[in-house]
Chains A and B, each alone.
Chain A
Amino acid sequence: MSLPRSATLRSALIRHPGLVPGSAKRQATAYEIVRQALRPGRPRHKAGVTVVVLALLASFATPAMAQQAPLADTQLSDPAQEAQAKALMETIRCVECQGQAISDSNADIAANMRSLIRERIKAGESPEQVRAWLIQRYGDYISYDPPLGGATWPLWAAPFVLLVIGIAIARSSFRRKR
């Protein structure tokens, strides 16, 4: 059996019809596994209990107060640089929690990425350079702003195509010039 990785174990299993603040992540997993175990058609006894114990272990063994990266939640002293870094963070997707930007995530790796972005901006890199560096590491996945390219041109062309089609349809409801 392939165990879910701790990253996924912690984040991918949160299921509820509302928003998930990152802070809820670790413990929510244990809860969710209890739920899974309760569902019909799944082993309800030993296996479930083992998984629960494992999950609890995972949740408590995570560094409760990890040594956070230095600039994860510390603003840069230059407001212009901080604004640049912040704007960039809002467009970088968390690789662990997947549904959030790193600016809105409590995941450890998101915090570390925030710190990395602040460090690089502070060192004088432009936001687009940092984005390109991250795309080099993780592919287009990492950027909520899909770079224009072979796989994305239809996406960027769509608004214009829609506008043209819309105008064509709308024209038919207007009266011809008398």
Chain B
Amino acid sequence: MIAEGGLAALWLAAVMAVLQLVLASSAVIGGRDEMARAVRPVAIAQGLLTALAMLCLILVFVQSDMSVLLVAENSHSLKPMIYKIAGAWGNHEGSMLLWVTILGLAGAAVAIFERRLDQRTLNATIGAQALIAMGFYAFLLFASNPFARLFPSPPDGNGLNPLLQDPGLAFHPPTLYVGYVGISVAFSFAVGALVTRDVGTAFARAMRPWVLGAWIFLTIGITAGSYWAYYELGWGGWWFWDPVENASLMPWLAATALLHSVSVLATRDGLRAWTIMLAVVAFSMSMIGTFLVRSGILTSVHAFAVDPKRGAFLLALLAIYIGGALTLFAARIGTVRQGNTFAVVSREGALVVNNLLLSVILGIVLIGTLYPLAAAGWGVQLSVGKPFFDKTVGPVALALVVFIAIGPLLRWRRDETQALLKRMTWPVAASCAALIVLVPFAWGAGILPLAALVLAAGLAVASVAPLWGRNLRRTPLFTWGMAVAHLGVAVSLAGMASDSAFTKETLAVLRQGETRAVGPYLVTMTGIRPVVGPNWSAVAADLSIRRGEGAPFILSPESRFFASPPTSTSESAIATRLDGQLYTVLGQPDGKGGWQVRLWWKPFVTLIWLGGGLIGLGGALSFIGRIRRRKRAVYDEYEEAVA
């Protein structure tokens, strides 16, 4: 019965979405204000109904109700509870339901909290939201019903893929989805503004928290996904330029650009058309990303269940939303009043360059990801991977780093080059110092990692410079947020460069008692033993590890075997130290008493994800700062200018 209840809630939510669209459009087009009053309650009802449907799905997973097809395919009664719950969205249907749930809740939140936007634009925005939601309801109800029954029902389920039985799963997809949905809200704002031709500072201020919120979640989602891949995959890599990874990176790049351009629009009323365009692009990227991932048209390590019918459905939605929005853009934006133009040497000038470079990176990633598909169209098989992206994205990203450092040191409106150069003294000094210190170590590692480390040092100093000499307790939170996020970029960049420049690898076949060195560590195989887990059995190696004269410690990488479904995985064992990580993986036995082990010493690799976390934290500080300021209703246009 719970499954049927969930399905009913989903249908009702879809009806609410239709109603919401009708009400909103009659309010906007027909000018019927009495309709507008009903829009909010309907949007709230839609949000609650989707949440109810999601709850029902989680419940059938918790109960291990094997008469529900989705549960039988993806769950198992012996699975730990947290993975039963996470299993609800660890599959196609469940994840799409999670998508519309978040979308519904976001729509409700817009209806409840958004009070500052012009009423007509708000109605148009809520109407656009309903239109997006309707497409996904249709997708769920007609092509991916999560509540479908299975008859006869099997005695037990198939189990969840062991790789997904990991805390990472519980949080990684929902985080990314919140990000995607947040972007869809920004998209709805853009559509609403295009409908009413009301693109200005008030619009930008209303949209900004949504963009910021979405961006925080995308940042955390990508960071967590990267770490998950890093320890789960067992090869020590954290980014593979794989199509599915690129699909998550592209919306983030667009959202990052949008976040900065919306700031310019809110503060200086410039970049009007560009900001609208970016909102559309950001949403297209999250849709295209979802499509690429779900349709399986690109070969990826992260393969998802593929179904051409679903792919076609997503593609149709993509065409309607993005095609529609771009048509609206072309038809309407010409009639929107031109925004302000800027001086080159100014905060907004640097932000324009930042947007330019981010967009170029986005374009390169998009073209690089899809190029093999185009080439296949004219009969050529080729591969585009890490070397291409390193060579093309790398230099542009480093140029971007320079502008990240410069931007916050500039004043809004107009600044003097001389003054900027003076403010850049310390950052440049830091870079020079880093260069001198690093050249002897990193010379052999190539120019890119070395340049990245040098620029990271400069950026780290430059990013905290806006806080310099200020009363820190009276500094607005969003200024703190900016400093922390930019510092995060420097930290993450340093981690990436350090990993690629200084990693030490040792591959060995070890028998009991044998020792090999990796980086500063001596690793001794002290034994091999069987391990039994709740739903797996494993072979674990005990590696005794010493660094210099320090006390030895034990790391136990495992080779696990899961019975349901029958799968084996390698569980890496990682020791985290202040200056890096020791990463150990157990491979196959050689049949003569030895076991293959892979050992890596990765200096400062943790900075990659620490930096990602700082970027997210910076976003969160900014977010809180903006919300607080909204509450106080202080709208001084130039207040955030660096005094």
Contacts and interface: CB of A to CB of B under 8 A. Distances in A.
Contacts of B550: none
Nearest to A99: B301
Contacts of B166: 18
Interface string B334-348: 000001011110000
A38 B568 contact: no
B331 to A, nearest CB: 20
Among A15, A75, A152, A159: residue with most chain B CB under 10 A: A159
A82 to B, nearest CB: 8
Interface stretch (B23-31, B188-196, B375-383, B418-426): B375-383
Task: Give the dominant DSSP class at B's interface.
Answer: mixed
Interface in B236-274: 237, 240, 242, 270-271, 274
Contacts of A91: 385-387
Contacts of A170: 352-353, 355-356
Given A17-B95, A28-B565, A99 B383 contact: no
Given A17-B90, A19-B301, A99-B301, A159 B392 contact: yes
A113 interface: no
A21 B565 contact: no
Among B342, B360, B375, B381: residue with most chain A CB under 10 A: B360
Interface string A20-43: 110110111011101100111000
Interface stretch (B135-143, B302-310, B627-635): B302-310
A21 B505 CA distance: 19
Interface string B152-195: 00100011011110101100010000000000000000000000
A114 to B, nearest CB: 10
Interface in B399-432: none
A90 B588 CA distance: 21
B506 A75 contact: yes
A93 B383 contact: yes
Interface in A136-174: 139-146, 151-152, 155-156, 158-159, 162-163, 166-167, 169-170, 173-174
A6 interface: no
Nearest to B95: A17
A142 to B, nearest CB: 7
B590 interface: yes
A170 B305 CA distance: 41
B318 interface: no
A32 B274 CA distance: 46
B219 interface: no
B162 A145 contact: no
Interface in A91-122: 91, 93, 97-101, 103-104
Given A104-B240, A151-B382, A145 B270 contact: no
25 contacts: A17-B90, A18-B164, A19-B163, A20-B302, A20-B303, A21-B569, A26-B568, A27-B566, A28-B567, A34-B565, A38-B73, A65-B591, A73-B507, A91-B386, A100-B240, A141-B383, A144-B388, A145-B385, A146-B382, A146-B388, A151-B375, A163-B360, A166-B357, A174-B343, A176-B341
Given A15-B303, A173-B271, 20 more contacts: A17-B91, A19-B228, A21-B234, A24-B162, A27-B565, A27-B568, A35-B158, A139-B382, A140-B380, A141-B383, A145-B387, A146-B383, A151-B375, A155-B367, A158-B368, A158-B392, A159-B364, A170-B355, A173-B341, A175-B344
Interface of B: 69, 72-73, 90-91, 95, 148, 150, 154, 158-159, 161-164, 166, 168-169, 173, 228-229, 232-235, 237, 240, 242, 270-271, 274, 299-306, 339, 341-344, 349, 352-353, 355-357, 359-360, 363-364, 367-368, 371, 375, 378, 380-388, 392, 396, 505-507, 509, 559, 565-570, 587-591, 596, 598
Interface of A: 14-21, 23-24, 26-28, 30-32, 34-35, 38-40, 59, 65, 73-75, 86, 90-91, 93, 97-101, 103-104, 139-146, 151-152, 155-156, 158-159, 162-163, 166-167, 169-170, 173-176
